[in-house]
Structure 1
């Protein structure tokens, strides 16, 4: 792939704008030598204004989503893409969220431009566990863990019962819930079905990948080792 197309696909600008970057000497190799559009240079050796080029297509990153942000590109309010470099929104293939967290839910969110990887993560056949921490409005009544694990709980307007889920009662009003599916507002609806209300909700882990102390609003690119841990048993 020609350098102009490569850099444009990574969101640094239109092809015309990237061509202007070459003319201005902004594109160099790792040693600071100015590059030209027809040069053949390994991806990892390309620099833009002295900074390494973003990863190529196949990017996977984790974001600690704060409360108040939506997983959308069109919402009028704050969106998760506001927390990333602006050029990430312009990448081709597009960088998409892997599933969603609603505006009032915080925690681990994955984003990728790899459609096959996205499908593998969200597919019910993968059975990738997702761990949520919830603060409840009322004490647990005592039978929620058994009910959630039974695989018989039906949510309003649903036609199929939920898959078994594991509930850990940390405190009477603070729980960890592990799901292997991702229905709309599932955690909140599960507790509503047993007469309770979720006051706050946080996703702490997907598969074998925890947030690991990543501060709210921060992100990092996942490497091959991270990807292996993602699909490993927690």
Structure 2
């Protein structure tokens, strides 16, 4: 792929904008040598104003989503893309969220422009475990774990029962819940079905991948070892 198209697809501007950057000698290699618009050079070697390029196509980003942000660019108010460089909104292909966390849910959120990987992670056939920390309005009754693990819990308006889920009690009003599917507001609806209400919800793990100290509102690029953790064998 030519240099101009490669940089434009990463959201740095139109092809004319990128050509202007090149004419201004703001696009260089890692040694500071100005690049021409027809050169072919490794992504990691390209600099704009001395700074490395954003992650290349086919990347996965790990974000620690705060409460108050939604995953759809069409929503009003704060969206998760506000936490990323503005250029990310203009990448081709689009950097999409891997599933969604609702406005009132915090924690581990993945974004990628690798459609094959995205569908592999969210596919029910993959059974990728997702772990949530739940804070409840009322004390647990004690039978919730059996209900969730039964594989027979049917939520209102659903046509098939939920897959078995694992509940670990962590406090009188708190629990850790592991799911292997993702339905609309599933955890909130599960606890509503057993007479409780979720006050706070935080996703702490997908596959074997955790936030590992990543601060709220911050993001980082996933490496190969992270991808291996996402899809544990």
- For residue 55 of structure 1, report the CA deviation from its aligned partner: 2.4
| TM-score, structure 2 normalization | 0.98
Q: Aligned equivalents of 1:162 and 1:74: distance in 2?
A: 29
Encode CA deviations 1:86-117: one digit per residue, 9 max, x unaligned.
Answer: 11111101000000000000000000000000
Q: Aligned equivalents of 2:24 and 2:56: distance in 1?
A: 23
Q: 1:176 corresponds to which residue?
A: 176
- For residue 38 of structure 1, report the CA deviation from its aligned partner: 1.1
Q: Aligned equivalents of 1:129 and 1:72: distance in 2?
A: 23
Q: Aligned equivalents of 2:206 and 2:145: distance in 1?
A: 20
Q: 1:85 corresponds to which residue?
A: 85
| TM-score, structure 1 normalization | 0.98
Q: Aligned equivalents of 2:215 and 2:123: distance in 1?
A: 28
- For residue 16 of structure 1, report the CA deviation from its aligned partner: 0.7
Q: 2:147 corresponds to which residue?
A: 147
Encode CA deviations 1:38-60: one digit per residue, 9 max, x unaligned.
Answer: 12222211101101112221010
Q: 2:135 corresponds to which residue?
A: 135
Moved over 3 A (4+): none
Q: Aligned equivalents of 2:139 and 2:43: distance in 1?
A: 55
- 1:18 matched to 2:18? The reply is yes
- 1:96 matched to 2:102? The reply is no
Q: 1:219 corresponds to which residue?
A: 219
Q: Aligned equivalents of 2:175 and 2:40: distance in 1?
A: 54
- 1:46 matched to 2:46? The reply is yes
Q: Aligned equivalents of 2:127 and 2:231: distance in 1?
A: 10
- For residue 231 of structure 1, report the CA deviation from its aligned partner: 1.3
**Structure 1 portions without partners, runs of 5+:** none
Q: 1:126 corresponds to which residue?
A: 126
Q: 1:72 corresponds to which residue?
A: 72
